[in-house]
Amino acid sequence: MDRRVAAALAARGIDALHAVDVGLAGEPDVVVFDWAIGEERVIVTRDYRDFSQLLKVAQRAGRSFPGVLFVSRALAPGDVGAIAAGIERFARRPEAFAPGTAAWVTAEGG
C-alpha cells in the first residue's frame, strides 16, 4: 500500500499506521501479520495471495487476530483518495472489522 493512504486515513481521524512507519519495511508478511496481532491492529493490504493464507493458518490454529481488510485491485494503486475513502466507509460501519475475519474494500465502497 502507498504510505500516503495511512496519512490520508489519519487526516480523516482513523488510527492508521504504515508498516514502514513502525520499522517493518522489508519484513516478511508473517512478521507484519504477527506484529498486527500483537498490537491488535487490522491489516489493510492489496496482497490477497499471501495474507489470505496467513489468516487461514491463524483461523485453523484458533489464533485470535483483529482482521484483514483487502483492497480491491479495481482501485488504482495511486488513487490514494479513493482508497482512503473506501477504507473510511468500511471502517465507519458498525459491523466493520469483526475479529478473526477478512473483508474487502472495492471501488463501489466495499
pLDDT in tens, 57-72: 999 999 988 889 999 9
Q: Tell whether pTM > 0.85.
A: yes
Report CA torsion sign: 5, 9, 14, 17. positive
Distance in Å from the first CA to the final CA of the chain: 17
- Would residue 36 count as lying in a domain? yes
102: left (phi over 0), alpha (psi -120 to 50) or beta: beta
Domain count, the chain: 1
pLDDT at 39 over 80: yes
Percent of the chain with pLDDT strictly greater than 70: 97
47: containing domain: 3-105
Whether 101 has a pLDDT exceeding 90, the answer reads: no
Cα 25 to chain centroid distance, Å, stands at 16
User: Does residue 110 belong to any structural domain of this protein?
Assistant: no
Residue 98 falls inside a structural domain:
yes
Residue 35 reports pLDDT greater than 90: yes
Measured CA to CA, the distance from residue 89 to residue 63 in angstroms comes to 27
Of the candidates 16, 63, 23, 25, the one whose C-alpha atom is nearest the C-alpha of residue 44 is: 16
pLDDT level of residue 108 (50, 70, 90 thresholds) = low
Mean pLDDT (the chain) is: 91
Share of the chain above pLDDT 90, in %: 72
Domain membership of residue 54 (yes or no) is yes
